[in-house]
Amino acid sequence: MTAISRREALQKLAVGSVVPVAVTAGLTVLPETAHASEVVAPVGALGMLYDTTKCVGCKACVSACARVNDLAPDTRLDGLHQAPLDLNGYTKNIIKLYRPADGSAFSYVKQQCMHCIDPACVSACMFSGLTKDKGTGIISWNGSKCVGCRYCEIACPYSVPKFQWEKFNPKIVKCELCKDRIATGLQPGCTTVCPTGAVIYGKREDLLREAKRRLAANPGKYFENRVFGEEDGGGTQVLYLSHVAFEKIGLPTLGTESIPERLKWQHKLYKYLALPVALYAGMVGVMRGNWKHHITELKHEQEKTGLRPQL
Amino acid sequence: MKRWERGVPVFGVPILTPAFFWMCVLAVIAVVLTLYRTVVGLAKVTAMTDAYAWGIWKSFNVMVLTGLGSGAFAVGIAANIFNRHKLHSVMRVALLTSFLAYSTGLLMLGVDVGRPWNFYWAALPWKWNLHSPLLEVAICISIYTAVALFLENVPPVLEYLFYEKPQTRTWVTKLDSLFERFFPIVMGLAYILPMMHQSSLGALMLLGGNRVHPLWQSSWLPLIYVWAAAYLGYACVSIAVMLSKLAWNRGLDLDVLDELNKIMAGLIIAWTVFRFGDIIYRGVLGTAFQPNFFAVLFWVETALTLGPAIAMLSAERRRSLKVAFLANVFVALGGMIYRFSPTTLAFRPKAAAFYFPSINELLISFGYIALAIAVFMLAVKKLAILPDSNEGWMRMAEYEKKQNPEVQLTGYSAAATAGHD
């Protein structure tokens, strides 16, 4: 048995595995074009439409949300009042105010889960503790499958999922569109109590139609004359109309591609585990020859020195 | 200069040294704090927040240190697939450092997650979410550590049993011949699995989207990430053998170090070219020249890795132990900072978010590193891990003979042992 030269090793590897790698790697350099997301909303997708021009910042939705979801009052601000500063382990819905120092237009904003059409949190979740309902498109959390890794918090572009850091048995807390109320024919807590109709509940397609009606009826009133969530980040089921820039009310610039689409090449490389298995077989094939030679050398060395060979 | 021919245990020095003692103390502190964390939850022990939901336990102990512990994979591929014969002499160092980095990393994962009791789902493959890069990482790292790295580290232990516990010789010899036959199958696993999970560690942050600064966020992040692990593995092995020279006055084989440094330099230069190519292709090179923290961070990473790599192109500098040692330390630092950036330094979840680990968080993190170092210090004194010459083995055998005349460490020519088999 003779040693295989490096060139031969490379040739062998090429036959076994480098070819598929090169082909797949070659495909990945195709230009990335901006295109609408491949994932579409479920037919029965439910959602909400929030309109900054109608919100008066009364926070009735915040307390209604906490009440109907049985959330413990977050009194950490002063030890007495329920006054959450942000979405957190006890707050699934919050109202904030954007008010620039220069006195230009201010705006309230309501924050809760956007119920993305192609959600990053669901893609991230190891054992599907977060799932998107096939019928309603509502994203909900299942405690029996969550290991508390918090990858959903890293992945969500809207910083929505929150963790109960101080608990022995911590939960991931986020808006689930009051799915239990919806199941009994009720509306979500927040839309039920909103006095001005700033946030309304319905089927996503109806809400989108209503939003576009408002845009058409009020040209120039809304930022960019468009609905946030129609296509942003692959589309969301909670839609926003705003009279100030979307980024000022905390909505990020995402483009039309969904976050999980960034993983599409990963999925292709791992398809049926074919590529890893081919690479494995190629490497073992090359190493078998090399290893036999290595063992022969070790035995030869042993003859000379009288020392036990070491693998 | 010596020629490294075989692993030889460190002999003639006590096991319980001050350094070893303090490493053990740090490890015990970490274990106690881990129990405390289990009872009181994460908020009291760590500085993690909903914005920085991943702290140093994941982003440093797992994502950075398994990169540093990639010697078994990176050096192994050169030695066993590309036939760089000289590198066989440092494989045991690489295998042990990797095993320790990975197993303590896995421990840290267990400490970090909030609901570890739900990990039993890992045993039910049909419940896996195959779209999750973290699932790939968790499963792949566990199999790699528990099967591939574990098995690769068994031969030195068998060798120890052979000499020290003669009653085990029959089955040790049998196991040895099994390993001899089937090692390539194990090594194949030991190379394919890191390619998968080290790139998936990079893929984790693909889901971070725009919240990762554009100098780091890229569709090629998985490849750039595993590539960094490869050269970090080389730096780690070189540093380990060079520190062993300082600690126990072991001889150095300059030819082997030369080979390690050459390959490391090549990997870094190609990595830097690829990284810059990607940054230029995506049109974000301009962000590297803005007067902000991210630009400085980027150039620090580049300087700490590319600078030493260029220095290591010169044969003269590679032969200077001081220069070579410093070069490897800088590369390790630069590569570690790079691996730390996408999750932490270059991760911008929102404008006003800040994270710096708490004292307890740091103590737990360092404690598990100290545990790995303590096991390494113990292992190299008991097992034939660190490379030396055959002459070094003879000296050790002579020394051991005085301590324990029953242990026979030499005189095993094939003819002499034929009768035993």
User: Cβ A311–B80 below 8 Å, yes or no?
Assistant: no
Select the residue from B5, B42, B139, B142 to test the A interface by mutation, using most A Cβ atoms within 10 A. B42
- Asked if ipTM goes beyond 0.85, one says yes
Over the range A112-147, which residues count as b (16 or more CB within 10 Å of their CB) and which as e?
A: bbbbbbbbbbbbbbbbbbbbbbeebbbbbbeeebbb
Q: Which pairs with CB-CB distance under 8 Å and at least 24 residues apart come from B271-277? A: B271/B224, B271/B227, B271/B228, B271/B231, B271/B305, B272/B302, B272/B305, B272/B306, B272/B309, B274/B220, B274/B223, B274/B224, B274/B227, B275/B224
Residue of chain A with shortest Cα separation from B125? A127
Mean pLDDT of chain A: 90
Q: What average pLDDT score do residues B104-118 get? A: 96
- pTM greater than 0.80 (yes/no): yes
In A, which residues are within 8 Å of B386 by CB distance?
none
Rg of chain A on CA atoms, in Å:
28
Q: What average pLDDT score do residues A238-263 get? A: 96
Instruction: Indicate if the pLDDT at residue B107 is higher than 90.
Output: yes
Closest alpha carbon to B241 in B187, B307, B317, B321? B321
User: Cβ B349–A123 below 8 Å, yes or no?
Assistant: no
Give me the residue from B129, B384, B414 closest to A126, CB to CB.
B129
Q: Are B384 and B92 in contact (CB under 8 A)?
A: yes
Residue of chain A with shortest Cα separation from B351? A250
User: Cβ A283–B188 below 8 Å, yes or no?
Assistant: yes
Q: What average pLDDT score do residues A288-292 get? A: 94
User: Cβ A148–B185 below 8 Å, yes or no?
Assistant: no
> What is the rounded CA–CA span in Å between residue B144 and residue B95?
12
Give B234 or B349, the one with higher predicted confidence.
B234
Residue of chain B with shortest Cα separation from A260? B207
Instruction: Indicate if the pLDDT at residue B404 is higher than 80.
Output: yes
Query: How many contacts does A have with B, using Cβ atoms within 8 A?
Result: 222
Give me the residue from A4, A87, A125 closest to B129, CB to CB.
A125
In A, which residues are within 8 Å of B119 by CB distance?
147
Q: What average pLDDT score do residues B242-251 get? A: 93
Confidence bin at B1 (pLDDT 50/70/90) = low
pLDDT digits (tens, 9 = 90+) for B22-58: 999 999 999 999 999 999 999 999 999 999 999 999 9
Q: What average pLDDT score do residues B119-130 get? A: 94
Q: What average pLDDT score do residues A172-199 get? A: 97
- Residue A89 pLDDT: 96
User: Cβ A170–B115 below 8 Å, yes or no?
Assistant: yes
> What is the rounded CA–CA span in Å between residue B336 and residue B231?
11
- Residue B350 pLDDT: 83
User: Cβ A154–B88 below 8 Å, yes or no?
Assistant: no
User: Cβ A310–B384 below 8 Å, yes or no?
Assistant: yes
Q: What average pLDDT score do residues A57-73 get? A: 96
- Residue A254 pLDDT: 95
User: Cβ B134–A149 below 8 Å, yes or no?
Assistant: yes
Instruction: Indicate if the pLDDT at residue A16 is higher than 80.
Output: no
User: Cβ B219–A157 below 8 Å, yes or no?
Assistant: no
Query: For chain B, how many residues are written?
Result: 421
Give me the residue from A159, A276, A305 closest to B349, CB to CB.
A159
Mean pLDDT of chain B: 95
> What is the rounded CA–CA span in Å between residue B289 and residue B247?
43
Provide the edge-to-edge strand list for the sheet that holds A199-203: A199-203, A46-51, A238-241
Instruction: Indicate if the pLDDT at residue B179 is higher than 50.
Output: yes
- Residue A8 pLDDT: 59
Confidence bin at B181 (pLDDT 50/70/90) = very high
User: Cβ B41–A151 below 8 Å, yes or no?
Assistant: no
Instruction: Indicate if the pLDDT at residue B413 is higher than 90.
Output: no
Residue B43 to chain A, least CA–CA distance (Å): 5
- Residue A28 pLDDT: 41
3-state secondary structure (DSSP) of residue B49: coil
- Residue A243 pLDDT: 98
- Residue labelled with tokens 């979840």: B349
- Residue A311 pLDDT: 86
> What is the rounded CA–CA span in Å between residue B50 and residue A87?
9
Give me the residue from B133, B192, B220 closest to A276, CB to CB.
B192
Residues of chain A above pLDDT 70, percent: 88
pLDDT digits (tens, 9 = 90+) for A35-61: 456 789 999 999 999 999 999 999 999
Q: What average pLDDT score do residues A164-182 get? A: 96
